[in-house]
A and B are shown apart, each in its own frame.
Chain A
């Protein structure tokens, strides 16, 4: 059974870079037909997609965060990562990683079928 687990610092200082890793177990991050993504949820608010990566390294980013976001993949470790630079208090949220089903011959996102448990990141000095 595929499982995802987020890891990384729970506290980040303003203006610094938030770094998180998602470890995939029970399956291969190189499986065809899936992107791997990051989604966040500020306290008491809704879900926001941040960015996604394919095993080949191809990425998509939320246009509103694109200038600060990097999502990368390490197939040798079965992991993918998120870096969000120049953070502010507005970046305080629960960060989830998820597997995104895509169409075989295209890259349309069909739905997110496996989620990590989430990790809370607070931006504060």
Chain B
């Protein structure tokens, strides 16, 4: 069982927006602004899409955005494209004892 809770699946049509949630506790998501999101295509390594809740690394399209409210973080993908179909994982700093925790992952399907 993962430390952070994500819905197993999400879907949307091309051009639409979809939001994926990531729920933790006050010891991880709610306690720090160090939530990150990763995109993983089949057979590939994860790719950092969002860090520190809402910052995008260079090269990540601005269609990807992040936010947080309380113990729940969210990733929004706007203007869905076929290549956005992938698994998405959230992660959070969780203090000096746990350091890093992951969510169970969400499979995003572009219909």
Interface residues of A (CB under 8 A from B): 37, 39, 46-49, 52, 60, 62-63, 96, 100-101, 107-113, 115-118
Given contacts A100-B100, A110-B34, contact A115 B93 (CB under 8 A): no
How many A-B contacts if CB must be within 8 Å? 68
The reply to whether B34 and A109 form a contact with Cβ atoms under 8 Å apart is: yes
Chain B: how many interface residues by the 8 Å CB criterion? 26
The reply to whether B104 and A110 form a contact with Cβ atoms under 8 Å apart is: no
**A-contact bits for B77-111, CB 8 A (1 contact / 0 none):** 00000000000010101001111111111000000
For residue B64, CB closer than 8 A to chain A, the reply is no
Given contacts A47-B38, A47-B89, contact A113 B51 (CB under 8 A): yes
Q: What distance in Å separates the Cβ of B84 from its nearest Cβ neighbour in chain A? A: 19
The reply to whether A109 and B47 form a contact with Cβ atoms under 8 Å apart is: no
Q: What distance in Å separates the Cβ of B105 from its nearest Cβ neighbour in chain A? A: 4
Q: Chain A: which residue is nearest B4 at the CB level?
A: A46
Contacts of B52 in A (CB 8 A): 110-111
- Of A49, A108, A110, the residue contacting B102 (CB under 8 A) is A49
The reply to whether B98 and A63 form a contact with Cβ atoms under 8 Å apart is: yes
> How distant is the Cα of A1 from the Cα of B86 in the complex, in angstroms?
25
> How distant is the Cα of A100 from the Cα of B105 in the complex, in angstroms?
19
Contacts of A49 in B (CB 8 A): 91, 99-102
